[in-house]
Structure 1
Amino acid sequence: MSDEDDRPLHLVVTLGTDHHPFARLVDWVDRWAGEHPDLRCVVQHGTAPAPRHAEGHAMLDPADIPALMGRAAVVVGHAGPGTVLDARAAGRLPVVVPRLARHGEVVDDHQVTFGRWMEGRGMALCVDDEAGLRAHLDAALADPAPYAVVVDDATPPPAVTLLGDLIDGILTR
């Protein structure tokens, strides 16, 4: 990925590695990016069509994602655990949009439950529509501070501990 773009990095969007396209979120972000051509918006779009206004990548090198997230004012993604944990490890409170089965974005609506669960614990901000996403993108443009989290390298984030406990519980069954 080229880093020659000197516009401020406002937004990083990651959709994980699921084979289901998530064109709905790419379209929402791309419309917003088209209204803000002075800002750099990087979108890892996966199998969805590439954005027209934002900088699109079918897949980002996993080694590049932490630095991109850390430099962005706001991180947006699907409501997957990896996205939430990566964003938080990079010092960002992620805005997540759950994939929906009725749009062919996922096999079931587990991301709705997970996104709301993470929001209820202060680990992410969950939005269900384009207006909610735009509100966060605009708010982060005005003041990115609420979208940053303190990274404590000495203590695992609560989500990591919780996820580890959940996995341990499954493996001991």
Structure 2
Amino acid sequence: MPRQRDTTAVERPLLLVAVGTDKHPFDRLVDWLAQWHAQAGPVGLTVQHGHTVAPPLPGAVPFLGHDALQQAMADADLVVCHGGPATILEARRHGHLPIVVPRDPARGEHVDDHQQLFARRLGAAGLVVLCETREELHDALAVGQADPSRYAVRADPAAHEARRAAVARVGQIVDDLVARSKPRRSRWRAWPRTGHPTKETR
């Protein structure tokens, strides 16, 4: 059950990083985190790295079961995650303003750009802290480490039942965004030797 976040200062904030369960590795986010951690002050880590090679970081685990992930979110002072809609919604349900690094299909991190489209829309609305560069992530982590309350929102314990409908609605939004971002394929093939265009049948 989500609880309201304790916004008092903490000496050693707990940071949860979740890359999700997609089969594509997310080395970029894990590498950026490792670089930050090497020079950061005291911080507790849980790093769910999925199919990414295990980083040399404390608290690194490939996957977390549903209950374990819920507990990690409840315990964390800060949440960094990929741009998966379900993960973002869960983080907010637990009272976090998540720091989001969306997967980039051009880097082999996903099959399409729906995470980028979705995260950018939420970032523009102030519902996530969008980080698409290493510098943006490191700056966001520095702010959160100094004052975790900057990334706290009101948790809603009654939101569990509404989550299913919200995820379905988010899924539809993502589908619409992806559909609009794809260039339309021409319905006409190149001119064949007969001199007449042939209509695309597929």
TM-score (norm 1): 0.83
Specify the alignment match of 2:109 in structure 1: 105
Equivalent residue of 2:141, what SS? helix
**Which one has the largest radius of gyration?**
2
Indicate conservation of the 8 Å contact 1:33/1:54, yes or no.
no
CA spacing shift, 1:85–1:9, aligned 2, 3 Å: same
1:127 counterpart = 2:116? no
Indicate conservation of the 8 Å contact 1:79/1:96, yes or no.
yes
CA distance in 2, matches of 1:157, 1:138: 34
Indicate conservation of the 8 Å contact 1:10/1:40, yes or no.
yes
Gaps of 5+ in 1: 1-6
Matched ranges for 1:1-173 at <5 A: 8-36=12-40, 38-154=42-158, 162-165=166-169
Task: Return the letter of the residue paired with 2:39.
Answer: E
Indicate conservation of the 8 Å contact 2:85/2:171, yes or no.
no
CA distance in 2, matches of 1:61, 1:44: 10
CA distance in 1, matches of 2:164, 2:141: 26
Displacement, 1:35? 2.0
Indicate conservation of the 8 Å contact 1:119/1:126, yes or no.
yes
CA spacing shift, 1:33–1:153, aligned 2, 3 Å: same
CA distance in 2, matches of 1:158, 1:120: 23
CA spacing shift, 1:141–1:107, aligned 2, 3 Å: same
User: Relative contact order: is structure 1 or structure 2 higher (C-alpha 8 Å, sep ≥ 6)?
Assistant: 2
Cα deviation, 1:60-107, whole Å, max 9, x if unaligned, reads 122111221222221011101011011111111101111111211001
CA spacing shift, 1:37–1:163, aligned 2, 3 Å: same
Give me the CA root mean square deviation: 2.6
CA distance in 2, matches of 1:157, 1:122: 24
Displacement, 1:8? 3.4
TM-score (norm 2): 0.72
Indicate conservation of the 8 Å contact 1:9/1:71, yes or no.
no
CA distance in 1, matches of 2:122, 2:163: 8
CA distance in 2, matches of 1:42, 1:8: 13
Equivalent residue of 1:87, what SS? helix
Gaps of 5+ in 2: 1-10, 176-202
Q: Give the number of aligned pairs.
A: 164
Equivalent residue of 1:146, what SS? helix
Indicate conservation of the 8 Å contact 2:17/2:46, yes or no.
yes
Indicate conservation of the 8 Å contact 1:14/1:45, yes or no.
yes
Equivalent residue of 2:143, what SS? helix
What is the aligned-residue identity percentage?
36
CA spacing shift, 1:168–1:107, aligned 2, 3 Å: closer
Specify the alignment match of 1:3 in structure 2: none
